């Protein structure tokens, strides 16, 4: 963990937002263990989960004790975006979620890495991982979207279902003042539109933000499946508080 930024200089709100994103998505991907379509894909998803967990550990450590933060916080105290807490669904759902998030994370870390803020060292390392995650998701989006009728319709369904959670990604995060969020969103839309187009998929027409849609994860308001995920993740630690392992 040589890239840990000096704790006192890191804005806690931002460390929690980025750290919780990585932690929660890592847990979701971990749920695929033993269930992926093929062994090779299982390894790929586990690799991505491990990358994300590594990022989460660095980030949460700057905000406090990583285990306490992961296992002892209530749902309302988590600051992850709602996209990453969405259930895995079928493989197309997992890939669509991965495409949306990895594209966002890659762009964000790219900007943070080129700045001189407290997250630059971490982002410099994470940006390489995110580039690989994005490539993996893109490759699968192209194959599923432009695959069979069945894989096409499933992927379109996944893209449509998760679209509403993507607006939240570009809400400014407190402490990441150097990020041009509107510019980030424009670039994200261009990249995602390009991949979906090449995959013969339609960009959803529904709004990505708005009263009807989701998007308050950064304020601690989460969707219903998140509570169940946390209960499973935190169960052992809550049963034996204070234990070491």
Partner 1 sequence: MTHTDWPLWEVFVRSRRGLSHTHAGSLHAPDAELALRNARDLYTRRGEGISIWVVPSSAVTASSPDEKDPFFEPAADKPYRHPTFYEIPEGVQHL
Site residues (vs partner 1, CB under 8 A): 37-41, 43-44, 47, 135-136, 139, 143
d(CA 90, CA 78): 25
| Smallest separation (angstroms) from partner 1 to the CB of 143 | 7
Which of 38-47 are b and which e, b meaning 16 or more Cβ less than 10 Å from the residue's Cβ?
A: eeebeebbee
| Smallest separation (angstroms) from partner 1 to the CB of 140 | 8
Cα separations in angstroms, 214 against 38, 122, 192, 207, 211: 33, 29, 19, 10, 8
Q: What are the tokens at 119?
A: 């997250």
| Smallest separation (angstroms) from partner 1 to the CB of 22 | 19
Q: Which is nearer to partner 1, 1 or 38 (CB)?
A: 38
Q: Look at residues 69, 46, 66 and name the one whose alpha carbon lies nearest to residue 57.
A: 66
Q: Which is nearer to partner 1, 41 or 66 (CB)?
A: 41
| Smallest separation (angstroms) from partner 1 to the CB of 139 | 6
Number of C-beta neighbours around residue 13 at 10 A? 15
Helix 120-145, helix 91-114: angle, nearest 10: 150
Q: Look at residues 126, 148, 130 and name the one whose alpha carbon lies nearest to residue 138.
A: 130
DSSP state of 242: T
Number of C-beta neighbours around residue 207 at 10 A? 12
Backbone angles phi, psi at 132, to 5 degrees: -70, -40
| Smallest separation (angstroms) from partner 1 to the CB of 49 | 12
Q: Which is nearer to partner 1, 88 or 171 (CB)?
A: 88
Overall size of the chain counted in residues: 245
Q: Which is nearer to partner 1, 111 or 136 (CB)?
A: 136
Q: Which is nearer to partner 1, 85 or 129 (CB)?
A: 129
| Smallest separation (angstroms) from partner 1 to the CB of 90 | 12
Three-state DSSP state, 54 = helix
Q: Which is nearer to partner 1, 43 or 236 (CB)?
A: 43
């Amino acid at each position: 963990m040589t890239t840990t930024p000096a704790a006192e200089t890191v804005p806690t709100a931002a460390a929690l937002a980025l750290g919780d994103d990585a932690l929660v998505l890592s847990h979701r991907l971990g749920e695929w263990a033993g269930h992926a379509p093929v062994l090779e894909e299982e390894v790929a998803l586990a690799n991505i989960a491990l990358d994300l967990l590594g990022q989460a550990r660095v980030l949460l450590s700057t905000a406090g004790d990583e285990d306490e933060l992961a296992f002892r916080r209530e749902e309302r105290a988590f600051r992850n975006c709602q996209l990453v807490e969405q259930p895995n669904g079928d493989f197309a759902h997992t890939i669509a979620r991965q495409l949306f998030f990895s594209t966002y994370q890659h762009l964000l870390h790219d900007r943070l890495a080129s700045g001189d803020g407290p997250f630059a060292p971490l982002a410099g390392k994470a940006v390489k991982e995110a580039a690989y995650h994005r490539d993996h998701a893109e490759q699968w989006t192209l194959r599923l979207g432009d695959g069979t009728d069945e894989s096409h319709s499933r992927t379109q369904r996944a893209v449509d279902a998760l679209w509403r959670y993507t607006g939240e990604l570009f809400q400014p995060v407190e402490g990441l003042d150097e990020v041009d969020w509107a510019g980030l969103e424009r670039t994200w839309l261009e990249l995602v539109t390009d991949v979906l187009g090449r995959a013969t998929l339609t960009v959803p027409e529904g709004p990505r933000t708005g009263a009807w849609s989701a998007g308050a994860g950064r304020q601690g308001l989460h969707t219903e499946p998140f509570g169940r995920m946390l209960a499973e993740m935190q169960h052992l630690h809550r049963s034996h508080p204070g234990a070491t392992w």
